[in-house]
Amino acid sequence: MTIFKQFTFDAAHFLPNVPQGHRCRQVHGHTYHLTIYVSGPVNTEDGWVIDFKELKAVVKPLVEQLDHVMLNEIQGLKNPTAENVARWFWQAIRPEIPGLSRIELKETPTSGVIYEGENK
């Protein structure tokens, strides 16, 4: 069984490694839509894979850390592409939520990334 929880945050960034003249090299912002997926068996005692409250307790402080900031100034996000931001979330969440199975991060309604860890 897989459950999911969604979060949103607004942040600015620029991509320092794209060619000169690329519009993403300039400071710009996004309203990010983050979806966290957790997979595992349904616990027969409580009836769920994980308590949404527990998942929120792990993810919300991370979202708040990135909300309304310059992502380039966050430790580990010097090149804050959607791919690297998704990986940043994965590395922070995975130790706390072992059933983490997927992260979806959208920068726009039509553009985003799906990350399922390095071993997939």
What is the CATH classification number for the domain harbouring 43?
Answer: 3.30.479.10
At 42-83, the pLDDT tens digits run: 999 999 999 999 999 999 999 999 999 999 999 999 999 999
- 22 labelled catalytic: no
Structural domain boundaries, residue 89: 2-115
At 73-112, the pLDDT tens digits run: 999 999 999 999 999 999 999 999 999 999 999 999 999 9
Whether 40 maps to a domain, the answer reads yes
Catalytic hit among 54, 68, 73, 96 = 68
- CB-based contact 67:20 (threshold 8 Å): no
Whether 107 maps to a domain, the answer reads yes
Q: Which residues have a Cβ under 8 Å from the Cβ of 82 and sit 6 or more positions away?
A: 105, 106, 107, 111, 112, 113
At 13-34, the pLDDT tens digits run: 999 999 999 999 999 999 999 9
Whether 120 maps to a domain, the answer reads no
Binding site, by residue number, is 13, 28, 30
Q: Tell me, what's the pLDDT at 118?
A: 81
